[in-house]
Amino acid sequence: MAELASWRDGPTKSAIVDFVARVTADGSPDFVAPEARVATFDNDGTLWCEKPMYIQLDFIVRRLAEKAAEDPSLAGQQPYQAATAGDLNWFGGAITKHYQGDDSDLKVLAGAVMALHATMTVEEHAALVSAFYAGARHPSLGRPYPTCTYAPMVELLRYLEANGFTCYIVSGGGRDFMRPITSTIYGIPPERVVGSAQGLKFEGVDGHGDLLIQPALDIFDDGPEKPVRIWSRVGRRPILAAGNTNGDDEMLQYTSGLRLLVLHDDADREFAYTAGAERALEHADKYGWTVVSMKNDWTSVFD
């Protein structure tokens, strides 16, 4: 039986162990049949590190710089110029301006991001993503990105599976950015990865065909869209969900059993922040969700 070895004994670990015991014990009034033991996990900040920037943003910045290197006419334009210079402040600034009511830089960025992989096949895109994972490292932790997963959360996935649960990733991040690595780092296969995605178009030639990436967003899998995508993909309501931001609030509301909210309060071992999690934390307090303190509940953060 998988163990929660990196979870410190205390009320959080007990809440998990007790919940799992209640839904799995034969004859328990809260028994849930194995096929309905669905658990959904946000990815960025819940299963792996999201600071100082989303791992996918690092991939995008590198890809923009590669594109500018291939086509020097782009090098003087944003966002290629900032990407080439490694000027991450420009990217952060585009978001800040957006919140100040000025969408000009965000539109420039979104257009370039949508064009980045447009008309590639999904397999060509997956190969670029795999190459990134094989080489890139976290800028401050110094670890390869595939080792930036939270050890206690990966243990939780195994613990739930050992108890008959089926675990899904339900992330605002890119579905096809996660899929090439999730089997390796989480033991979660592509069919159980739900996330944001650009449109796809089928193109057939001589009895064979491919899916080509289109330069427009098809799904933004965040906030109220998460429960919708869970139903679309799974057709069941989760009995356990874990998240860490306001983007997970509706998924947690939709979940019928144990709701876990990961609190980033460990500046020594990871990062300490609550920005973007205000509403979820308020709801955790109001509705009795289980807050997971990285500092107090986990004996180690990374493997």
Tokens of 144: 């390869």
Q: Of the listed pieces 22-30, 86-94, 128-136, 193-201, which binds its own copies according to CB under 8 A?
A: 193-201
236 belongs to the binding site for its own copies (CB under 8 A): yes
Confirm or reject binding of residue 175 to its own copies (CB under 8 A): yes
Distances (CA, A) of 160 to 31, 32, 35, 152, 239: 15, 13, 13, 12, 11
Return the number of other C-beta atoms located less than 10 Å from residue 82's C-beta: 22
CB atoms within 10 A of CB 30: 12
How buried is 173 (Cβ within 10 angstroms: 0-12 exposed, 13-18 middle, 19+ buried)?
buried
Question: Does 283 contact its own copies by CB under 8 A?
Answer: yes
How many Cβ atoms are within 10 Å of 228's Cβ, its own excluded?
Answer: 14
* 36 or 57: CB nearest its own copies: 36
Please, which residue, 27 or 235, has the CB nearer to its own copies? 235
Shortest distance, position 281 Cβ to its own copies, whole Å: 13
Structural contact between residues 2 and 17, judged by C-beta atoms closer than 8 angstroms: no
Which stretch in 93-101, 112-120, 226-234, 295-303 sits in contact with its own copies by CB under 8 A? Answer: 226-234
Asked if 254 is part of the footprint of its own copies (rule: CB under 8 A), the reply reads: yes
- When asked if residue 207 is in the footprint of its own copies (CB under 8 A), the reply is yes
Query: Does position 193 bind its own copies by CB under 8 A?
Result: yes
> Considering beta carbons, is residue 105 or 176 the nearer one to its own copies?
176
Contact region with its own copies (CB under 8 A), list: 21-29, 93-101, 132-140, 196-204: 196-204
Which residues make Cβ contacts (< 8 Å) with residue 107, sequence separation at least 6? none
Phi and psi at residue 106, to the nearest 5°? -65, -40
Interface residue with its own copies among 28, 103, 111, 287 (CB under 8 A) is 287
Instruction: State which amino acid sits at residue 266.
Output: D
Least Å distance, CB 218 to its own copies, is 8
Using CB under 8 A as the binding rule, whether residue 220 contacts its own copies is answered as no
Instruction: Please select the residue that binds its own copies; options are 22, 67, 233, 295, rule is CB under 8 A.
Output: 233
Q: Which of 244, 214, 249, 236 is nearest to 113 (CA)?
A: 214
Nearer to its own copies, 29 or 207 (CB): 207
224, 274, 278, 300: which one binds its own copies (CB under 8 A): 224
Segment contacting its own copies (CB under 8 A): 50-58, 81-89, 225-233, 294-302?
Answer: 225-233
Whether the Cβ atoms of residue 46 and residue 262 lie closer than 8 Å to each other: yes
* Binding of residue 35 to its own copies (CB under 8 A): yes
* Structure-block tokens of residue 185: 């780092």
Q: Helix %, strand %, coil % for the chain, to 5?
A: 50, 20, 30
Return all residues near 228 (Cβ < 8 A) that are at least 6 apart. Answer: none
Q: Determine which helix (DSSP H) or strand (DSSP E) holds 95, and give its type and residue range.
A: helix 88-99
Instruction: Please tell me the distance from the alpha carbon of residue 61 to that of residue 75, in angstroms, as a whole number.
Output: 13
* Shortest reach from residue 237's CB to its own copies, in Å: 8
Output the smallest distance, CB 192 to its own copies, in A: 8
| Residues in touch with its own copies (CB under 8 A) | 35, 122, 166, 175-176, 179, 183, 189-191, 193, 197, 200-202, 204, 206-211, 224-225, 227-228, 231-236, 250, 253-254, 283, 286-287
